[in-house]
Copies of this chain bind each other. A is one copy, B any other.
Amino acid sequence: MAKLLECALNFSEGKREDVINAIAGAAQGVRVLDLNADKDHNRAVATFVGPPREIAEAAFRISAKAIELIDMNQHRGEHPRMGAVDVIPFVPLGEASMQEAIAAARQVGRRLGEELGIPVYLYEEAATRPERRNLADVRRGQYEGLPEKLADPQWKPDFGPNRPHPTAGATAVGARIYLVAYNVNLGTSEIDIAKAIARAVRARTGGLHNVKALGVMIEERNPSGSSPSGRSLAQVTMNVVDPFRTPLYRVLELVKIEAARYGVPIVGSEIVGLVPLSVILDTVRYYLQLEDFRDDQVLEARLWQEQ
């Protein structure tokens, strides 16, 4: 594969379809490969992949539109957030290096700060200080806590002013290795159970390496996933960093084990956005107990290799 960056831009609108589409539409020439909006999180993720320069340009255009259309003073949602554009990660794929992803993050962060007046924090591999690597730490206090955070010298932004923007909050921009956003829906409406399971499975508090997890509430969907049925459901929402090393089946099976302690079943799960084929195949290999199954036994993979 050529030098590619993936950008999974998270912005703080998950309910109004016209707004979501207008923001994603600002990508213009670059094709948004996946647009996933979550009403309960009141958040959406637009994923686009391409050469570094094009992807950085598209990230800026989409961000500018989100900043124009979203007023964070009105924003309520289940997922932690600090800005209209909440987080912009660049991920190297194919032959692109982490350095190229970091360069894209710095470039876009600088433009958001200097051209649009947004306070910007560089995080993960692009972080300027160790305490800014972790997104949860950067985002702590959320939108409402920004006046205090921006006044603190320890939290002087990497780009942009050290005072709040009137409507758009702050933005985290960074570079990181591939992660999969994976949510598991529990057969209970008790958020404390979801939080307990999240605590059990996240790396930092004693769970699986590479897993970040939170317990949240969502509106229950009908089995088709389309409309809410009126009840709330507890969810463990996770980021699995380096899913090539920590496979999805291991994450789900550990969530099941922890949920069993409460007599709570798994009623469904979702992978948000795009996922590499090898991650899917690691999970199939486990459940089917496959011996010697090669990635290129997938017919489409072989056909595409031939072109």
B270:A290 contact, CB within 8 angstroms? yes
User: Distance in Å from the Cβ of A235 to the closest Cβ of chain B?
Assistant: 11
Top-3 shortest CB links A-B? A287-B287, A274-B299, A268-B291
Contact of A33 with B by CB under 8 A: yes
Contacting residues of chain A (263-296) with chain B, CB-CB under 8 angstroms: 266-271, 273-277, 280-281, 283-284, 287-293
- The reply to whether A268 and B283 form a contact with Cβ atoms under 8 Å apart is no
- Mark contacts of A218-253 with chain B using CB atoms, 8 A cut-off: 1 yes-contact digit, 0 otherwise: 000100010000000000000000000000110010
User: A-side binding surface: helix, strand, loop or mixed?
Assistant: mixed
Q: Please indicate the chain B residues that have their CB under 8 angstroms from the CB of A1 in the complex.
A: 303
Task: Assess whether B266 is in contact with A302, with CB atoms less than 8 Å apart.
Answer: no
A276: which B residues are within 8 A, CB to CB?
A: 298-300
Would B283 and A297 count as touching, CB distance under 8 A? no
- In the complex, A34 has a CB within 8 A of chain B: yes
- A306 surroundings in chain B (CB, below 8 A): 31, 33
A291: which B residues are within 8 A, CB to CB? Answer: 185, 221, 225, 268-270
For residue A49, CB closer than 8 A to chain B, the reply is yes
Q: Which residues of A contact B (CB under 8 A)?
A: 1, 4, 6, 31, 33-34, 49, 93, 185, 221, 225, 248-249, 252, 266-271, 273-277, 280-281, 283-284, 287-293, 297-304, 306-307
Contact B292–A225 (Cβ < 8 Å) = yes
| Chain B nearest Cβ from A5, distance in angstroms | 13
B225 near A288: Cβ-Cβ < 8 Å:
no
Chain B residue nearest to A304 (CB atoms) is B304
B contact residues around A268 at 8 Å (CB): 289-291
Cβ contact within 8 Å between B283 and A298: no
A4 to B273, CA, bound (A): 31
Interface centre among A1, A249, A301 (most CB of B within 10 A): A301
A178: nearest residue on chain B (CB-CB)?
B299
Provided the pairs A277-B300, A299-B275 are in contact, do residues A248 and B49 lie with their beta carbons within 8 angstroms? no
A3 to chain B, nearest CB (A): 13
